[in-house]
Every structure is written in structure tokens, then in C-alpha cells.
Chain A
């Protein structure tokens, strides 16, 4: 795919746009392209405009404070920001190894037919609706994961970060992390699979023929070539995790207290917080939720742009 992109341009033909039909055709496609281009700015402008009053009244405390009180008109989202990052990183710690393992299995270990079937399954899972994971997470997974959390807390509770003072384990960032891992895995896997698959097969065969083991080949050939691309894939997964709303809403107990203990029975996350508070907020409160949306958008946009740069740079490297 990357190779054809380079040799693709019609540069040797000085093609001209001629006639009304052509002008209409390319005019429409240009308008559509500029529309797609400007969407990011449209979102920032309109969301920013609608939430400007919140930023003005709350000031910097909007990002650094820990109180959300609609009646008193105080809106601060620091615990939610911390929680979003905490849950997403937990999700990545689970999903990144799994995704790389699946990608490695598909590309190097599976027989062709199984590899194809698995690729299809991964693509299908990318379309797995989050409400389906939400209902499964709430009714089936959360009780089971709470038991795991209890066991971990019993055995390793002395480690900071694994403490639990409440005695209940449902609604913890730990469970949210697992749910996010399920949502992140398909996207990270599909990027990693393409990246690992584009490592020159002759190079791999050469390493094996020289007497390298599977492990040394992976360590010395596959990982060094694919590192940038895999980083990009993981960042894309992070972006997905930060923006996940409904699935987390049902398994995480949203409380406006900063919490770093992953087994404690409450946590925070920006996106589900918006969905949870949206219905019952006053007009000023909705404006504050829009402000939280702006913050969420800018964070995910930043993560995604960096991911794009990583993946794009890798594709360029492969093409040359």
C-alpha cells in the first residue's frame, strides 16, 4: 500500500480540467475536501464559543480544581482528567501486549487461512458497539473482575496504588481499564498487524536462515523496524480509550475525588462524566459540560495527531 502511494501521482501527464462537467466534478470534490479539512477548526470554534463563559467564570481552576457543584455554579474537572488518563493507561497496559501478540501471531505463526479469519474477526471487533460492551461489562464482567480485584488486594494490598479502604471493589478504575482494553485492542491490533506485516519478509527469512531464533528475529529485526509504527498504533488506542463514553459509564463509579488507587471503588473519566451529567444539568452546567468536551477533544486530537505522525513517518520509511 505504501509503495503504490509514492508511484501513484499522475505527474507525467499534464492533465487539465476542461469543460463545465470537469469543473463541476472537481469543484464538488474540492469543496468536500476543504469541508473535511475545516471540520476540526469548526468543532473548536463552535464548542469553544458555546463554553467560553465557563472558561471565563471558572478560570484555570476548571482544570485544576476538584469540585463539581451545579447548584453553587462551581465546575472543576481535575479528578476526571486524572481518571481518564489513569483508566486509559491501565487499558493500554492490558491491551498493548495482547494486540502486539495477536498481530505477531497473525503475521508469523498462524497458517494463512487462520490468519485471514483472525484478521476478519479483528476488523469486525473494531465495529463492536460500546453499548454492547457496556451491558456485558455491567452485568457479566464487573462482578467477576471485582473478585479478581479482591484477590489482588488481599495478596498485594501493601503496594501503594493497589489499596482499597472501602471494602467494595465494583466501580473501580481497574474494571474500567479492562473494559477499555477490550475497546482498544481491535484498533491497536489492526495497526500493528499492518506495520509488522510490512516488515520485509526476506529480511525475516534471512535472520532465521542465519540461525537466529524466533525471539532474536523479533527482537533484532521486527521490533527495531516496526517500533515507530507500533508506537503510533498504541497512541491511536490511547485516543480511543480517552474518548470512550458509554462502556465506561456503566462500570465506573464517577466521584469528584482524585484517586490513584486502581482498586478503590470510585474513579473518574471525562467522557462518561459528560454523558452522566448531561441530562440533569442547568443551562450553565451544560455550558460547563461543553467546556469539558473541548478539553477532551483537544487532548484526543493531540494524541491522534502524534499517532498519525508516527504511523505516517513509518509508512514513508517503508516506501523509500
Chain B
């Protein structure tokens, strides 16, 4: 089939065409309120979100409604209000999140330096200068605790994904339903459960592995859902082809389906990791913070970046707070890196 026979008709959208006078009105209606707000806020010394809410929003609503009334007529007013409200609500959230990002960089940057990445905080107190000590021990701890959780959650999560996509078991619906309901498992409950299940029963002594189990429980539902979606995206013809060639089903999976879904599976793992790497509550309950490095997950206390932040927040001296902000920035960078990698691997899809 040549491409010529496939010429698509682009749908016309006459309601999107705007005349020149309309554009002028839109321009005025979208700049005038902002300028007025700026003036009024400056006069009355109002700050930030307050000025936006009590001055800008009513002004903008009025201006947009008037512009709509002139250009479209009465029908346009509700439209204008809808548009302005949507943009205003987005602006509010953007404002808050922008503030989060800005204060992270502003306050965390000082505490992050080259030596902060590999040094631990063994001799560091709440008044030690930032030239000494760092979060190396917490980084190691996070890698160990999260790493163990990932090593168990990924194969088990994918196996459940296989159960949901490659078999015809009647249990699929209930497995999907209950495992997805676990997505909302509060992180503190996960910690308490592991505490009751492994520690109170005396099966495992207090160590970092308890934290890994809690994180494992928290990331499992995410991995199940994403791996099911990824495996579903593999074209059905590939399965038929492999089976028609006489491959047993496990070989069809490992040699055809899994390689086809590999980039998606990698994305799944990275997103699942990003989701739990910042979990704090279960680690506070299960793993005691240790200011020095410990590589052994089976015995002794261990630090992790979330508990590193948590432990510095207890002191409320300036330097301790700065270290906490540094930890928060490092954590956010880790999440960002994982996420970017996930997007990078996830780009190639069917």
C-alpha cells in the first residue's frame, strides 16, 4: 500500500479561528489585570498569594468576562470564567511547587559539596562547620536498603505481571484488585506491619533488612501495575509467532516477550525505585539512625538519606538545619535522576 492512498483528512476546527479584534481584546484582558494587580499590591504592600487571590483573581475574572461579552456575547462569559479559573488554579500549585524547588536549591546548596558526598557524620555535631562531614553513610545506607527491596520486588512484581497477562487464571481479577488496593498502603502501616510480622515475632533482629522489607511492600503494587501495562503493550502477534514456531511458553516469554518489553521493564523498575527512595516513616520505625557507615544489612543500625534529614531536624541549630536541607536536595536529585533515566528508557514504546 502506498502512502498516497492513506491520506488523512485533518479535522477542521472553525471554533478555534479568532479575528484580529478578538486577539486585541484577549491581549488587553490578559495584561491589564496583571499590571493593575502589580500597582495595587505595591501600594497596599500585599504579598504573594494574597495579592493574587484577593486582587488579581477578581480583576482577571472581570476583565476576561467583559472581553468575552464584547467579542462572543453572553455565551462567552462562562467560558472566560472557566479558562481563568483553570489557569489560576494551575498558577496556585505552580507557585507552591516553585517555592519548594527554589528553597531546596537555595538552602540545600550550601550543605552539598564534594566531600559531603563521601564523608560520614560520625564526629559531626549540630554545631560542626559544614566543611566537615557529609551524607556518604546515608547514601550507602539508602543504596543498600532500597537495593535489597528492588532485588526482591522486581522479579516478584514482574511474575505477578506475567500471571495477569500470560495466564487465563480465574483469580486474575481478584489478584489485580487486591494488589492495586495495596497501592494506598500508608507507609507508616507498612513499617508497623513489618515490625509486628518480623520483629515482634523474633524472627529477625533489629537491622536494616526490616526497612528493606517495608519498602519492598510499598513498591510491589507499583511494579505489578506498571509491568502488567508494559507486558500488555507487546504485540499479540509476537506471542503467536513464538508459539507457532514450537517454543514452550517460558521460552517464548524469556526470549521474545521479555526482550520486546525490556525498555518498559527498566522504566518500571526505575519508577518503582523513585517512588520508595524517599520513604521516611517505615525507616524511622524500623531502622535506627547511625551516623557512621555500615554496609551490613543483616546486623546493626544503618543510616539512610530520609532518616539523615530526620535526625538533623531534631536539633534546630542553623547548621543542623542546613545539613537537613542538603540531604533533602540530595534526595530530590536522586529522585530526579531516577525519573529522567526512566523517561529516557521509556521513550521507545510500541
Q: Mark A205-248, 1 if CB is under 8 A from B, else 0.
A: 10011000111101000000000000000001001101111100
Assembly CA distance A135 to B160 (angstroms): 37
CA distance A258 to B313 in the complex (A): 28
Those of B96-135 within 8 Å (CB) of chain A: 96-97, 99-100, 103-104, 107
Q: Render B26-38 as a binary contact track against A, CB cut-off 8 A, 1 for contact.
A: 0000000000000
A contact face: mostly helix, strand, loop, or mixed: helix
A11 and B168 in contact, given A29-B162, A127-B274 (Cβ under 8 angstroms): yes
Cα distance A134–B15 when bound, in Å?
Answer: 46
Which one, B183, B197, B248, contacts A18 given CB within 8 A?
B248
Q: Please, could you name 18 A-B residue pairs with CB atoms under 8 Å apart, sorted by A?
A: A13-B243, A22-B248, A22-B250, A33-B159, A36-B179, A39-B220, A47-B192, A127-B274, A127-B278, A129-B279, A130-B278, A131-B278, A136-B100, A215-B81, A216-B78, A246-B281, A304-B183, A305-B181
CB distance from A152 to the nearest CB of B (A): 10
Please report which residues of chain B, range 30-70, place their CB below 8 angstroms from some CB of chain A when the two chains form the complex: 48-50
Closest to B193 in A: A43
Nearest B residue to A102 via CB reads B90
Q: Per-position contact with A for B322-350: 1 when CB-CB < 8 Å, else 0? A: 00110010011001101100010000000
Contact of B15 among A40, A109, A209 (CB under 8 A): A209
Which listed residue (A25, A31, A127) contacts B253, Cβ 8 A?
Answer: A25
Q: How far is the CA of A120 from the CA of B250 in the complex (A)?
A: 35
Q: How far is the CA of A36 from the CA of B175 in the complex (A)?
A: 7
Q: Is the interface of B mostly helix, strand, loop or mixed?
A: helix
Contacts of A132 in B (CB 8 A): 100, 104, 278, 328, 331-332
State whether B159 touches A28 (Cβ < 8 A): yes
Q: Give the distance in Å from the alpha carbon of A9 to the alpha carbon of B332 in the complex.
A: 41
- B167 to chain A: which residues have CB within 8 Å? 26, 29-30
Measured CB to CB, the residues of A under 8 A from B are 1, 4-5, 8-11, 13, 15, 17-19, 21-22, 24-26, 28-37, 39-40, 42-43, 46-47, 49-51, 97-98, 101-102, 104-105, 109, 120, 123-136, 138-141, 144, 147-148, 151, 178, 182, 185, 205, 208-209, 213-216, 218, 236, 239-240, 242-246, 250, 271, 274-275, 278, 289-290, 293, 296-297, 300-301, 303-305, 307-308, 312
A29's contact among B48, B163, B187, B325, by CB below 8 Å, is which?
B163
B97 partner, pick from A11, A46, A125, A148, beta carbons under 8 A: A125
**B-chain residues with CB within 8 Å of residue A18 when the two chains form the complex:** 248
* Minimal beta-carbon separation of A133 from chain B (angstroms): 7
Q: Which residues of A contact B160 (CB under 8 A)?
A: 29, 32-33, 36
**Is A245's CB under 8 angstroms from B103's CB?**
no
Q: Measured between alpha carbons, how far is A135 from B78 in the docked complex, in Å?
A: 40
Taken together as a complex, chains A and B put the C-alpha atoms of A34 and B278 apart, in Å, by 28
A218 and B306 form a contact (CB under 8 A): no
- Distance (whole angstroms) from the CB of B142 to the closest CB of chain A: 11
B283 to chain A, nearest CB (A): 10
CA–CA, A296 to B193, complex, Å? 12
A15 near B249 with CB under 8 A, answer yes
Total B residues in contact with A, Cβ cutoff 8 Å: 104
Whether a CB of chain A sits under 8 angstroms from the CB of B184 is yes
Interface residues of B in 238-293 (CB under 8 A from A): 239-240, 243, 248-251, 253, 271, 274-275, 277-281, 284-285
Q: Given A37-B179, A293-B192, do A19 and B90 touch, yes or no (CB 8 Å)? A: no
Report the separation of the CA atoms of residues A271 and B184 in the bound assembly, to the nearest whole angstrom: 13
Query: Which residues of chain A come closer than 8 Å to B271, judged between CB atoms?
Result: 123, 127
B86 touches A109 (CB 8 A): yes
Chain B residues within CB distance 8 Å of chain A: 11, 13-15, 48-50, 72, 75-76, 78-79, 81-83, 85-87, 89-90, 92-93, 96-97, 99-100, 103-104, 107, 155-157, 159-160, 162-169, 171, 174-175, 177-189, 192-193, 195-197, 200, 217, 220-221, 224, 229, 232, 236, 239-240, 243, 248-251, 253, 271, 274-275, 277-281, 284-285, 306, 309-310, 313, 321, 324-325, 328, 331-332, 335-336, 338-339, 343
CA distance A188 to B301 in the complex (A): 37
List the count of A-B residue pairs having beta carbons below 8 Å apart.
282
Report the Cα distance A277→B163, complex, angstroms: 41
- Residues from chain B with a CB closer than 8 A to the CB of A4 are 232
Knowing that A33-B169, A144-B49, A245-B281 touch, tell me 9 more A-B residue pairs with CB under 8 angstroms: A1-B229, A11-B168, A21-B250, A29-B162, A127-B275, A141-B96, A205-B11, A214-B83, A243-B184
Neighbouring B residues of A240 by C-beta, 8 Å:
184
List the B side residues contacting A239 at CB < 8 Å.
184
Q: Is the CB of A245 within 8 A of B188?
A: yes
- B71 CB to nearest chain A CB (Å): 12
**A214 in complex: contacting residue of B13, B82, B171, B188, CB < 8 Å:** B82
Contact of A98 among B90, B174, B248, B277 (CB under 8 A): B90
In the complex, A85→B87 CA distance in Å? 29
Complex CA gap A29/B172 in Å reads 12
Contact indicator A37/B174 (Cβ below 8 Å): yes
- The reply to whether A297 and B15 form a contact with Cβ atoms under 8 Å apart is no
Which chain B residues border A308 with CB–CB below 8 Å? 177, 180-181
**Nearest-neighbor residue (CB-CB) of A304 within chain B:** B184
Q: How far is the CA of A123 from the CA of B267 in the complex (A)?
A: 13
Complex Cα spacing A312 to B178, Å: 13
Known: A21-B248, A131-B306, A215-B79. A303 touches B184 (CB 8 A): yes
Residue of B with least CB distance to A10: B168
Assess whether A40 is in contact with B184, with CB atoms less than 8 Å apart. Answer: no
A178: chain B residues within 8 A (beta carbon): 96
Most buried by A among B182, B186, B193: B186
Among candidates B83, B163, B181, residue contacting A32 with C-beta atoms closer than 8 Å = B163
A132→B335 CA distance, assembly (Å):
11
- Partner of B78 from the list A8, A109, A213 (CB cut-off 8 Å) is A213
Find out whether the CB atom of B186 lies under 8 angstroms from the CB atom of A242. Answer: yes
Q: Known contacts being A129-B279, A214-B79, is A40 close to B11, with CB within 8 Å?
A: no
Q: Is the CB of B310 within 8 A of A131?
A: yes
